[in-house]
Structure formats: C-alpha cells, structure tokens
Amino acid sequence: MADSSRSQRWVQWAGHALIIGAALLVVNPFLVAVGWAAILAFATWPVYGRLQGWLGGRTRLAALAMILLVVLVILIPATLLSLALAAEIRHTFAALKVSAPALPSGVVAFVREIPWVGPPLADRVAGTFANPAAIERWILDNAGGWPSAIASAAGNVGRNALEGVLALVTLFFLYLHGDALAGQIERALARAGGERMAATFRPLAETVRAVMYGTLLTALAQGVLAMTGYWVAGLRAPVLLGALSALLALTPAGTAFVYVPASVWLLLEGKLAAGLFLLGWGMFVVSLADNLIRSWFLAGALQLPFLLGFFGVLGGVLAFGPIGLFVGPIVVAMLLALWREGTAEP
C-alpha cells in the first residue's frame, strides 16, 4: 500500500513538472514583458490603491488611469532617453573611427611633452606602437562592431514597443487581480515550503519598492540632473554622460567621477563660466540630491548597501538584459534579507 502511494506521488510530481515545463515553454517569449509588468505593479501598487480609493473603489477605472499614468510618466520618457542614448553612442563611435588613425602618433606626441620623463617614455610608447597600421586596423575593426551591437540593443524600436504593449496589458490585469493573485501565491508557498518560506517572501513588495525608489530611482534622478547640467554647459553627448553618471551613482564613487573631470575639461578649454556652473551644479544639486531623494524613499525600508546594489545592477544586466537593472538588485536584496534572518541572534 505504501509503495503504491509512493509511486502515485512520483507520478503526480512528474505530471506537475511536465505541466510546468510545458507552460514555461509556452510563455517563455512573454516572460520579459511579464517581468516588467510585475516590477511596475509592485512599485506602483500604493499609488494604485490611493487612486482606487479616490475613484470610489472602481477597480477597472483605476487600472485604466494607472496605465495612462505609467505611459506618461515612465514609458514615454524611457523610450525617448533610449533613442537619444542610441543616437549618441553611434555618434561617439563614429568620431572614434575618424580619430583612430591619428591615435598612436597623438599618444606619442602627448607623452613626449611631459617634462623630464617625457622623451624616454615616448620612445617606449613608440616601441609599443611599432606597427601602427595593425593597431589602427584593430581599433577600427572593433569600433565598427560596438556601435551596431549597442544600438541594436538600445534602439530596437519594434521589439521594445511590442514588449511595452504586452507589459501594459499584463500590468492592467495585475492591477485588477493583484490582491487575489498575491493571496494565492502566499498559500502556494506555505503549502510547498511551510509558513517560514511564505513569510520570507511577504516583504517582496516592500523590497521591490525599496530597491526601485531608494537605489535605482535615486541613481536615475541623479543621472537626469547631471545630464541637464552637461547639456546646459554645452558638453557633447550629454545623454551618454548622464547615463554614465547614473551608473556611477550606484557605487560609492558617485557622480563626481563624471562631473568633476567634465568641469576641469571645460576650464582647461577656457570656458570658465560653463566649467564653474557645471562644478557648482554637480556639488549642490546632483550630489545633494542623493541624500535627499534616498532618505525620502528609503524611510523605514530595506537598506541595500552601495556595493551590493552595484553588483546587483551590473550582474542583473549581464544575466537578464535590461530588465536585470531591476531584477538584479531585487534578488540581491532578498538574499541579504535571508542572510540577516539566518544570522540574527536568537
């Protein structure tokens, strides 16, 4: 009797695994869109709840209003920034291809002008560039592939638009049925792994909001502020510099590693007003925005250390693509929560 019951359980598990595997194959093309929808639902759920209350509990109308709000506040600005970034990357690498033939001789000439150590060091650099033609070909060959690869990832308008539409449709239904779905997931986790496993995943919504608002949106806000300063100061590729500033805002180094050299560059070019403006903008607007925005969003929420957040962002992007910008830090934050729970004193 026991053997029969055990064999039935194995058959049941195998059937469940087969159903889940087949379902994953069916929905695999839509997982990215579903992931974006889930992240947006977690992050905007408090706003949706308030809007639903203002509309007298009319769920469908509140969901439609939230979709419109997401399109206006998130989707349209993100699309415009992506297109601008792709265009500036193309222009930057096009300029690199033009300047590549003069690069070896330019480096040698610059090093030779260094006092005292310049001439002997220049001879060594010239020896490194013993075959300038081969180096130039390498630069040109590699520079030719970079912009096309990056532009195809950042500027694939058709695919991004389709995923955006699917994410919005999924988000609409998550607003409608999110509460019921959350309860079902919690009961399923409790049955599969016990109450402790269900309790571990209960703070997921707070973790998602803490990561998005406290870490990523702070970095994005600093990137936008820095990009505005670069544009006003007259620097080339302000969107590209703003994206780099947003990335460094996730690290302890901060945005100063971009706006300080840019300010010095402007001052060396004789653009005194632009250089001083950019330096002051970076110090009193961009850098101070970090403390103000982060403390506002992270009040009472899960604090994710800078280094773990940085690893989460880069590792998430490498593992999952653009959605990894959010998935990576969320996974790291949940791992940190598990670590703190497991190492807490009894």
- The answer to whether residues 316 and 331 touch, using CB atoms and an 8 Å cutoff, is yes
Instruction: Quote the pLDDT of residue 174.
Output: 92
Helix, strand, coil shares of the chain as percentages rounded to 5?
90, 0, 10
Half-sphere exposure at residue 67, Cβ-oriented, CA atoms within 13 angstroms: 20
Q: Which residue has the tokens 């020896």?
A: 127
Instruction: Quote the pLDDT of residue 144.
Output: 46
| Opening angle at CA 309, ends 186 and 172, nearest 5 | 45
Residue 241 three-state SS: helix
**pTM value > 0.75:** no
Q: CB within 8 A of 153, min separation 6: which ones?
A: 321, 322
Q: CB within 8 A of 26, min separation 6: which ones?
A: none
Residue closest to 212 by CA, chosen among 140, 138, 120, 316 = 316
Distance CA 231, CA 146 (A): 25
Instruction: Quote the pLDDT of residue 247.
Output: 79
Q: CB within 8 A of 60, min separation 6: which ones?
A: 176
Per-residue pLDDT of the chain (346 residues; tens, 9 = 90+): 556 677 777 888 888 788 888 888 888 888 888 888 988 888 888 889 899 889 888 899 999 999 999 888 878 877 777 777 667 666 766 665 655 555 556 556 656 666 676 677 767 666 655 555 555 555 555 544 444 444 444 445 566 677 888 989 999 999 998 888 877 877 877 777 666 666 666 666 676 777 777 777 788 888 889 999 999 998 878 888 888 888 788 766 678 888 988 898 888 778 889 989 999 999 888 888 877 776 666 555 556 676 777 788 778 878 887 778 778 877 887 787 777 777 766 5
**CA dihedral of 311, 314, 84, 73, whole degrees rounded to 10:** -60
